[in-house]
């Protein structure tokens, strides 16, 4: 990466006007950066320009005058030192293809999207690397951790991690994003950080199902613990470091998403546990619950790699094979008895 001697002069573009993209863009704008901000919806652009608020995805938050919204993605990403991407995982490839060729080779690309692509089983930085050639691998950074957009927007103390194979790039992202209420750590395990942030959404759906069924805290604690085991197993099979899953992007994000009222994935699971069908639930949602699509990726990837992930498999069956939640719980509880700890 090119050395930037004065970090305050960093040219930044943010792609994605959902709740998370808006919260992060506004964090940077409040810090004093002039932020070019790509949003898909014209109504969102107009709202930010006219009333300094994203009523569609982040209502009630006053946005900085340093935020410059646009529907022209080329204007937002060209001639930038850092481009932050926070779009839904299922459109990441489309967006990456659009901006390929517009990004300068020294640009730091930060993914704040959590998900695993269906069919390719690539994490989001993997999709970006594949679609944007010519950028050094170390310039791709993943930003992840326990962080609800609404709380970040309200300046609630939050801690996340920036992962890159280049320690200088990770440290640069750390410096750009860090504020007195948003603490950023660095990590060199990109695979582990991205997997933790992705698979926890599947486990969060399961936690919601448990709550929707009216089961207890014992059940939730067991689910979170065994869910973390599944995340770690998949991570090890893909070369991640086990210790990563004890950190912010692992157990930290898992706890938040499985227990927090602001979790969209938990909300989907809870409604399923209460008897609603997935199609009906999704028809009522404008924002994306990433775990729904990631559940399919995790199911197929774990079968391909031979990784045992019983909770994730039952969530896949509930979502895509219309299996009863009560049947899924019974099947999990009556599996063959075994030792708790894996060898690794």
CATH number at residue 36: 3.40.50.720
Is 200 tagged catalytic? yes
Query: Do 157 and 58 share a structural domain?
Result: yes
* pLDDT values of the chain reduced to their tens digit, one per residue, 344 residues: 555 667 888 999 999 999 999 999 999 999 999 999 999 999 999 999 999 999 999 999 999 999 999 999 999 999 999 999 999 999 999 999 999 999 999 999 999 999 999 999 999 999 999 999 999 999 999 999 999 999 999 999 999 999 999 999 999 999 999 999 999 999 999 999 999 999 999 999 999 999 999 999 999 999 999 999 999 999 999 999 999 999 999 999 999 999 999 999 999 999 999 999 999 999 888 887 899 999 999 999 999 999 999 999 999 999 999 999 999 999 999 999 999 998 65
Query: Do 310 and 233 share a structural domain?
Result: yes
CATH number for position 329: 1.10.1040.10
SS3 category, 147: coil
| Residue 58 falls inside a structural domain | yes
Query: Do 209 and 180 share a structural domain?
Result: no
Dihedral of the alpha carbons of 120, 122, 126, 132, in degrees to the nearest 10: 30
Q: Which of 188, 209, 242 is the last residue of a domain?
A: 188
Query: Do 219 and 177 share a structural domain?
Result: no
Determine if residue 48 is left, alpha or beta; phi over 0 gives left, psi from -120 to 50 gives alpha, anything else beta: alpha
- The catalytically annotated residue of 200, 270, 271, 293 is 200
Burial 302-341 (b: 16+ CB within 10 A, else e): beeeebebebbbbbbbbbeeeeebeebbeebeeeeeeeee
Strand order of the sheet with strand 67-70?
Answer: 67-70, 35-38, 12-15, 82-85, 108-111, 140-144, 158-163, 182-187
| Residue 344 falls inside a structural domain | no
Query: Do 47 and 167 share a structural domain?
Result: yes
Query: Do 265 and 144 share a structural domain?
Result: no
Query: Do 269 and 297 share a structural domain?
Result: yes
8 Å CB contact between 254 and 223: no
CA 98, CA 120: separation in Å to the nearest integer? Answer: 19
Residue closest to 140 by CA, chosen among 91, 92, 90? 92
| Residue 100 falls inside a structural domain | yes
Q: Which of 188, 217, 237 is the last residue of a domain?
A: 188
Tokens found for residue 141: 């950074």
Q: Which of 188, 216, 233 is the last residue of a domain?
A: 188
Residue closest to 107 by CA, chosen among 163, 162, 173? 173
For residue 230, what pLDDT is reported? 98
Query: Do 112 and 60 share a structural domain?
Result: yes
Range of the domain at 158: 7-188
For residue 215, what pLDDT is reported? 97
Query: Do 203 and 305 share a structural domain?
Result: yes
| Residue 338 falls inside a structural domain | no
| CA 186-190-192 angle, 5° bins | 105
CA 273, CA 53: separation in Å to the nearest integer? Answer: 34
- Structural domains of the chain, count: 2
| Residue 132 falls inside a structural domain | yes
């Amino acid at each position: 990466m090119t050395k930037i001697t004065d970090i305050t002069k960093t040219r930044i573009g943010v792609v994605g006007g959902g709740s998370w993209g808006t919260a992060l863009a506004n964090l940077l704008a409040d810090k004093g950066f002039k932020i070019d901000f790509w949003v898909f919806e014209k109504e969102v652009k107009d709202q930010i320009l006219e009333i300094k608020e994203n009523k569609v995805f982040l209502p009630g938050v006053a946005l900085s005058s340093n935020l410059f919204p646009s529907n022209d993605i080329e204007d937002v990403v060209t001639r930038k030192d850092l481009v932050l991407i926070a779009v839904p995982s299922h459109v990441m490839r489309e967006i990456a293809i659009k901006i390929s060729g517009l990004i300068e080779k020294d640009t730091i690309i930060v993914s704040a999207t959590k998900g695993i692509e269906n069919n390719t089983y690539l994490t989001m930085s993997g999709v970006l690397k594949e679609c944007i050639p010519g950028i050094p691998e170390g310039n791709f950074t993943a930003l992840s951790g326990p962080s609800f957009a609404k709380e970040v927007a309200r300046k609630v103390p939050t801690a996340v991690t920036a992962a890159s194979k280049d320690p200088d790039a990770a440290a640069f992202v750390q410096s750009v994003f860090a504020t007195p209420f948003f603490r950023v750590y660095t990590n060199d395990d990109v695979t582990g950080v991205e997997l933790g942030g992705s698979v926890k959404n599947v486990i969060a759906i399961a936690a919601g199902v448990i709550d929707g069924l009216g089961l207890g805290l014992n059940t939730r604690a067991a689910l979170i613990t065994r869910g973390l085991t599944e995340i770690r197993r998949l991570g090890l099979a893909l070369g991640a470091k086990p210790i990563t899953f004890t950190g912010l992007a692992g157990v930290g994000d898992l706890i938040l998403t499985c227990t927090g009222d602001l979790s969209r994935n938990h909300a989907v699971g809870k409604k399923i546990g209460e008897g609603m069908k997935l199609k009906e639930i999704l028809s009522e949602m404008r924002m994306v619950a990433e775990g729904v699509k990631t559940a399919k990726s995790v199911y197929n990837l774990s079968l391909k790699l031979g990784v045992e992930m019983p909770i994730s498999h039952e969530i896949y069956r509930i979502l895509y094979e219309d299996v009863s939640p009560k049947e899924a719980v019974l099947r999990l509880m009556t599996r063959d008895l075994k030792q708790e700890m894996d060898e690794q």
